[in-house]
């Protein structure tokens, strides 16, 4: 399943010990951080800057998240976060992301995030982001 997705970006990480909780494994919330950082770095790479967008009143926000936890990360692990972006409709953007432990390529977590873009709280067409970043185009323009 994972293999069928054409990921367009990947970013390397090392687990930081403070990210592990009392079970000795990375706390579930940290995966959110990893996924978010990879998305933002992908945007940076394509010339988009979240802090700058926010100052212009433009805020991409998540509307939905789905995560499948396959195997936990723990202290000392290295891993990559991969992503691909899909324009789902005029407003919705879908990120397919997963985490692969390195170097053994063990699947750790598979996720889907749906986002929209708001300007002062009002729904914006996602062109403002999508025109700048490589993505798959499945939205035919209708909502």
Decide if 59 is catalytic.
no
CA-CA distance, 73 to 75, in Å (whole number)?
7
Count of residues of this chain found to bind its own copies when the rule CB under 8 A is applied: 39
By the rule CB under 8 A, 16 interacts with its own copies: yes
Q: Kindly report each contact of residues 45-54 with a partner whose C-beta sits within 8 Å and lies 24 or more positions away, as own/partner.
A: 45/9, 46/132, 46/133, 46/134, 47/132, 48/129, 48/132, 48/133
CA-CA distance, 63 to 123, in Å (whole number)?
12
By the rule CB under 8 A, 12 interacts with its own copies: no
Site for its own copies in 75-114 (CB under 8 A): 75-76
Question: How far apart are CB 8 and its own copies at their closest, in Å?
Answer: 20
Reference 29, options 39, 38, 19; nearest CA is 19
How far is C-alpha 39 from the geometric centre of its chain's CA atoms? 4
Reference 71, options 106, 35, 41, 117; nearest CA is 106
Question: How far apart are CB 40 and its own copies at their closest, in Å?
Answer: 5
**Which CB, 5 or 58, lies closer to its own copies?**
58
Site for its own copies in 30-69 (CB under 8 A): 30, 32-33, 36-37, 40-41, 44, 49-51, 54, 59, 61-69
Pick the catalytic residue from 17, 21, 49, 127: 21
Summarize as ranges the residues that interact with its own copies (CB under 8 A).
14, 16-18, 20-25, 27-30, 32-33, 36-37, 40-41, 44, 49-51, 54, 59, 61-69, 72, 74-76
């Amino acid at each position: 399943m994972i293999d069928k997705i054409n990921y367009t970006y990947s970013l390397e990480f090392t687990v930081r010990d403070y990210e592990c909780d009392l079970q000795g494994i990375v706390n579930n919330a940290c995966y959110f951080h990893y996924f978010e950082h990879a998305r933002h770095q992908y945007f940076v790479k394509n010339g988009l800057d979240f802090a700058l967008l926010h100052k212009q009143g433009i805020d991409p926000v998540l509307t939905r998240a789905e995560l499948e936890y396959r195997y936990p990360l723990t202290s000392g692990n290295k891993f990559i976060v991969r992503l691909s972006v899909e324009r789902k409709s005029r407003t919705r953007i879908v990120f397919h992301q997963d985490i692969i432990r390195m170097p053994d390529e063990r699947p750790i977590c598979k996720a889907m995030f749906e986002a929209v873009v708001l300007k002062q709280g009002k729904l914006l067409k996602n062109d403002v982001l999508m025109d700048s970043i490589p993505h798959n185009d499945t939205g035919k323009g209708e909502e």
